[in-house]
Structure 1
Amino acid sequence: MHTFDEAAQAVISLAQFCSHKGWLPATSGNLSVLVERDPMKIAITRSGADKQRLQADDILCIDEHMQVQTETAYRPSAETSVHIELYRKFSCGSILHVHTVFNNLVSELYGDEGAVPIHGHELLKALGHWEEDAEVSIPIVPNYADLARLGQAVAEAAHAEVPAVFVRNHGIYAWGDTPEAARRHLEAIEFLAEYVYRLGVARDIG
């Protein structure tokens, strides 16, 4: 576990990494790191924060009921509910939600199938799949406007084989046991999303 200050600094570092990649356009996305598991406390980006310029007061300490545990004028992101549901389901230590062109494209292209299949790619090793013919399916859920419903849908679709869920035409939630693992998983899946899309385009042209 972390102190809140340690978790908040980890969130800021993750935001800097994701912003450098161009994965947090405008004020989109939300990032969190677990502070305590029981009772649950997490450090998470506030609603409306520019993730490219995060300051310490842009990180809130939230309990499992989405109640802010520190004095602040800010409120948590409405999508905090998705983070809470994932922390409840898995023993993860960090959750990253970003919006990119390629995760939007593949989630829309495969939305009716309900998952993006990936087979035999080297980057699957970053997700813990070392077998030669590894295959995973990254789930896709609808982009429900009701965020409590979205949190439940993401948690229900999530499974241990792959640490991510796409929200159709919206973004991705990726997680890991540590902030470093969450970052690695997100980076691998973003690469794979772009690969899957570009491969499909190449095949259509061919």
Structure 2
Amino acid sequence: MHTFSEQAQGVIELARFASDKGWLPATSGNLSILVERNPLLFAITRSGADKQRLTEQDVLLVDADMQVQGESSYRPSAETTVHVALYDKLSCGSILHVHTVYNNLISELFARQGYVEIAHHELLKALGHWEEDASVRIPIVPNWADLHQLGQAVADAAKPDVPAVLVRAHGVYAFGDTPDAARRHLEAVEFLCEYVYRLELIRNAGFVSP
């Protein structure tokens, strides 16, 4: 098992990657990497941190009760509740939450049916689906103001074979067994959200048949 310091550096690398993509605007989002499974301990970005200029002091070691371990004047994001719920349910080793225009648009467009279905696309392989007729449904949950309710909703919707959950008009939680897997899943889902949105536009304009 890796040390907290090693995992904190991993969080910083993930934050730089997502920031360079423009996926963490205005200090938004939160990123975590598992340190210990039992008892649960994980490294997570602090509340209000600028993810483009993250330092090790901006990454906190947090337990299952959202209590910061060690000395720090910072507090974890209130959305740490979602990370706890996902770590409790799944065997994931990293969770990435970002806010982008495309994942927000897709979550609004398909909110009523509760999922966006994506089929027959090459990038589904990045989510672990290699079948020729592969199809996935990425769940969409309401953006509950009660963050414990939000955490429970995301965890209830999350499935190991579809490693992402959209929160309506908010963002996406992507996860994986390792930080690299979580990053790959996030990048694939972001591409697919943009693809589906642009496809909807040209279909509605009559250029592509349904």
Same fold (TM over 0.5): yes
1:97-116 paired onto structure 2 within 5 Å: 97-116=97-116
Instruction: Write the deviation string for residues 145-187 of structure 1: whole angstroms up to 9, x where unpaired.
Output: 0000000000001112200000001000000000000000000
Instruction: Write the deviation string for residues 46-73 of structure 1: whole angstroms up to 9, x where unpaired.
Output: 0000111101100000000100001000
CA distance in 2, matches of 1:77, 1:160: 24
Partner in structure 2 of residue 16 of structure 1: 16
Partner in structure 2 of residue 39 of structure 1: 39
CA distance in 2, matches of 1:52, 1:116: 30
Instruction: Write the deviation string for residues 105-131 of structure 1: whole angstroms up to 9, x where unpaired.
Output: 000000000000000100000000000
Q: Which runs of 5+ in 1 are unaligned?
A: none
Instruction: Write the deviation string for residues 60-119 of structure 1: whole angstroms up to 9, x where unpaired.
Output: 000001000010000010000000000011111000000000000000000000000000
| SS of match in other structure, 1:26 | helix
Partner in structure 1 of residue 26 of structure 2: 26
CA distance in 2, matches of 1:2, 1:32: 14
CA distance in 2, matches of 1:136, 1:78: 30
CA distance in 2, matches of 1:122, 1:193: 14
CA distance in 2, matches of 1:59, 1:23: 18
TM-score by length of 2: 0.97
CA distance in 2, matches of 1:122, 1:63: 38
Give me the identity figure in percent: 71
Partner in structure 2 of residue 136 of structure 1: 136
Partner in structure 2 of residue 170 of structure 1: 170
For the pair 1:121 / 2:118, whether they are aligned, the reply is no
Q: 1:93 is aligned with what amino acid? A: G
Partner in structure 1 of residue 52 of structure 2: 52
Q: 2:34 is aligned with what amino acid? A: L
Q: Which consecutive aligned stretches of 4+ in structure 1 deviate over 4 angstroms post-superposition?
A: none
TM-score by length of 1: 0.99
CA distance in 1, matches of 2:161, 2:68: 32
CA distance in 1, matches of 2:201, 2:133: 23
* Displacement of 1:132: 0.5
CA RMSD of aligned residues (A): 0.5
CA distance in 2, matches of 1:157, 1:2: 29
| SS of match in other structure, 1:72 | coil
CA distance in 1, matches of 2:38, 2:158: 22
* Displacement of 1:2: 1.4
Q: 1:122 is aligned with what amino acid? A: E
1:72-87 paired onto structure 2 within 5 Å: 72-87=72-87
CA distance in 1, matches of 2:160, 2:75: 31
| SS of match in other structure, 2:42 | strand
| SS of match in other structure, 1:73 | coil
